[in-house]
Amino acid sequence: MSPPLLSIRDLRVSFPTRQGIFEAVRGVSFDLGRERLGVVGESGSGKSMTGRAILGLVRPPGRVTAERMQLDGQSILNLPERRMRKIRGSRISMVMQDPKFSLNPVMTVGAQIIEAYRLHAGGAKAEARRKALEMLQAVQIRDPERVMGAYPHQVSGGMGQRIMIAMMLAPDPQILIADEPTSALDVSVRTEVLNIMDRLVRDRGMGLIFISHDLNLVAQFCDRVLIMYAGRIVETLPAQDLHRARHPYTQGLLNSLPRLDAPVARLPVLHRQDSWRDDLPEGL
C-alpha cells in the first residue's frame, strides 16, 4: 500500500469560552489515501472544524494541536500563514456549501478562475485563460466562453457549484475537501455535480474528504465513511457496509430517517448517551 496522502493523529481543536475551554474536535485520527472518504455527523459534531483545521483555517483564539498532521510525509501542523498559503489551494483545496457565498459577486467567473490559477501556478494570463476554459469544460459547462464573462448572479446554483469545483481543481491539488458541496442544490442537479466530482477525483488520483450530514448520500458516493459525534470519530466503516453499522449512534441516525421504501407509523428517536462522548470506538 502506498503511503497516505494525509495522515492525522490525535487532532484537537479547542476554543476558550467564558465557561472554560471548549473542545470542538477531540482526538481525531485517520489516514487519507487516493480515495473518497466521507465524514458524517450532525451539527456540532466537529466535521467541518476537522476540515478547517487541516487547511489551517482555524483562527485564534481557536487552537489546533495534533500528534501528527502530515501531507505527503511533511508536517503541516500550525505552519506560518505564508507557508500555509502555498499549500492551501495548490495542494489541498476546499469546496464550500453554497456557491452564492463563496464566489466574488463583483468579479466575472472567468476573472476569478484566472486569478485563482495564477496565484498558485503563476504564468501568463493567456495560459491561465486557456486553463480556465479547459477547467470549465471539465466540469461540463457547455458554453465556457459565455460563462467566463458571466457574473455569479447570472448562473444557477448548480452551475455556481461546478464553477467552484473548476476553480478549486485548476491548480491540480492532491486533496480536495468538500464541505456539504451539494446541500444547497436540488436533487436533480446534485447527481450531476457529484458525477463531475467523482470523475475528476478518479482521473487525477486525488484524495477526497467529503463532509456531509447525509449518511445515505455519503455511503453511496464514498469508499469509506467516518462517523463523528461530539468531536470524535465513533465509527469507521467501508461505505457499502453502512447498513451493518455497529455503533448505536450510527444506527440511530440511519433509523431516524423517513424512507420511501420502508414506511413506519412513528420514526424511532435517537436517545443520546453520555458514553458516546468518551468511550473509545472498537478497533482503535
Hey, which residues between 52 and 71 contact another protein (CB under 8 A)? none
Q: Could you tell me the smallest distance in angstroms from the CB atom of residue 77 to another protein?
A: 31
Alpha carbon separation from 161 to 18, 141, 178 (Å, rounded):
38, 11, 11
Does the protein bind another protein through residue 18 (CB under 8 A)?
A: no
Cβ nearer to another protein, comparing 128 with 253: 253
Query: Binding another protein by CB under 8 A: which of 104, 137, 154, 256?
Result: 256
State in angstroms the smallest separation of the CB of 171 from another protein: 26
Residue 253 in the binding site for another protein (CB under 8 A)? yes
Paired sense of beta strands 175-179 and 207-212, if any: parallel
Nearest distance from C-beta of residue 38 to another protein, angstroms? 11
C-alpha distances in Å from residue 11, one per residue of 25, 29, 170, 221: 7, 6, 29, 25
Q: How far is the CB of 104 from another protein (least distance, A)?
A: 23
Please, which residues bridge with residue 85 across strands?
A: none
User: Considering beta carbons, is residue 69 or 194 the nearer one to another protein?
Assistant: 194
By CB under 8 A, the residues from 165 to 194 that bind another protein are 186-188, 190-191, 194
User: With binding defined as CB under 8 A, does residue 42 bind another protein?
Assistant: yes
- Cβ closest to another protein, residue 52 vs residue 190: 190
Torsion of CA 145, 147, 149, 153, to 10 degrees: 170
* Residues in 189-218 that interact with another protein by CB under 8 A: 190-191, 194-195, 198, 213, 215-217
Is 98 one of the binding residues for another protein (CB under 8 A)? Answer: no
Asked whether the beta carbons of 222 and 202 are under 8 A apart, the reply is no
To the nearest whole angstrom, how small is the minimum distance from the Cβ of residue 173 to another protein?
22
Q: Single out the residue of 97, 61, 278 nearest to residue 184, CA to CA.
A: 97
Measured from the CB atom, is 143 or 261 closer to another protein? 261
Q: Do 80 and 163 touch, CB atoms closer than 8 A? A: no
For residue 239, state whether it binds another protein (rule: CB under 8 A): no
CA distance 209 to 206: 10
Of 106 and 264, nearer to another protein (C-beta) is: 264
Contact status: 154 vs another protein (CB under 8 A): no
Minimum CB–partner distance for residue 82 and another protein (Å): 37
The answer to whether the Cα torsion of 173, 177, 183, 188 is positive or negative is positive
What is the DSSP code (8-state) at residue 78?
T
> CB under 8 Å to 162, separation ≥6 — which residues?
139, 140, 141, 193, 196
Q: Does 261 bind another protein (CB under 8 A)?
A: yes
Note whether 34 and 205 are within 8 A (CB).
yes
Q: Which residues contact another protein by CB under 8 A?
A: 42-43, 157, 186-188, 190-191, 194-195, 198, 213, 215-217, 220-221, 252-253, 256-261, 263-264, 266-270
